């Protein structure tokens, strides 16, 4: 991915990692459009970053995705990058939750959202000299956090889907890059996460991601050092992976 000279759409760009990426790419001189459900959050971010644009997008609504994609093609004909950052993460007690509303919402936002938005934007991306689709997965795509099973499953699915999409687009002008964050200080799971000392500071994460993009423009996976133990855990063999999985989940459930 080129670090400059882009017109970039970032979903979930008003908060957390999305906002961090939006501001970093904006400072590099890219044209950045942030998208999300909450108009006030988008306004606050664009007001703090003059020249940044925004659009309200309900990533759960297929009709709204198509409408926004069509409008983006008109308003930003040079759009050549989409970063699928929007996502929700909710704890689920599978023994005590007979309803599946949370699971369905997570699948709709985290999995169907990127699939639908890619389909809507692909004709526009293919018109550009060079384009990039960035899927945001997670270290939890490779070692799931058991208290958030559907979230982890959607990230594993997007990892798999990204590989297939990359293969299908290999003879086109559109590259596919996967960004897999570790545990980062955001409010994805509430305010406690933003202050959790076990989580990577957001600014540190954004800075390391940008350094990888600048120094490894052909990378298909963007992996900061702190996520690599999760990414490579399965390569250690079944028994070691099982032990790692249990230790990881025990530590996350019992931080003390």
Catalytic residue among 151, 167, 205, 241: 151
Active site residue 43: no
DSSP the chain: --SSS-EEEEETTTSHHHHHHHHHHHHTT-EEEEEES-HHHHHHHHHHSTT-EEEE--TT-HHHHHHHHHHHHHH-TT--EEEE---------TTT----HHHHHHHIIIIIHHHHHHHHHHHHHTTSSSEEEEEE--GGGTS--TTSHHHHHHHHHHHHHHHHHHHHTTTSSEEEEEE---SBSSSTT-HHHHT-TTSBPHHHHHHHHHHHHHH-TT-SEE--GGGHHHHTGGGG-HHHHHHHHHHHHHHHH---
Residue pair 224/200 in contact (Cβ under 8 Å)? The answer is yes
Give the residue numbers marked as catalytic. Answer: 151
């Amino acid at each position: 991915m080129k670090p400059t000279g882009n017109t970039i759409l970032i979903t979930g760009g008003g908060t957390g990692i999305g906002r961090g990426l939006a501001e970093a790419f904006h400072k590099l001189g890219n044209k950045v459009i942030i998208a999300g459900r909450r108009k006030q959050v988008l306004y606050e971010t664009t007001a703090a970053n003059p020249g940044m644009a925004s659009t309200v997008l309900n990533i759960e609504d297929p009709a709204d995705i198509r409408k926004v994609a069509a409008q983006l093609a008109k308003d930003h004909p040079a759009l050549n990058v989409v970063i699928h950052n929007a996502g929700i993460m909710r704890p689920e007690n599978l023994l005590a939750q007979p309803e599946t509303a949370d699971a369905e919402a997570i699948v709709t936002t985290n999995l169907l959202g990127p699939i639908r938005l890619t389909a809507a934007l692909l004709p526009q991306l293919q018109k550009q000299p060079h384009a990039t689709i960035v899927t945001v997965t997670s270290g939890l795509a490779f070692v799931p956090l058991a208290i958030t099973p559907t979230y982890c499953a959607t990230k594993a699915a997007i990892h798999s889907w990204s590989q297939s999409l990359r293969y299908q687009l290999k003879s086109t002008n559109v590259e596919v890059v996967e960004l897999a964050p570790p545990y980062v200080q955001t409010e994805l799971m509430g305010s406690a996460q933003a202050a959790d000392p076990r989580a990577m500071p957001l600014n540190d994460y954004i800075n390391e991601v940008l350094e990888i993009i600048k120094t490894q423009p052909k990378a298909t996976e963007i992996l900061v050092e702190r996520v690599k133990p999760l990414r490579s855990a399965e390569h250690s063999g079944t028994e070691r992976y099982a032990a790692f999985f249990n230790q990881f989940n025990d530590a996350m459930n019992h931080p003390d």
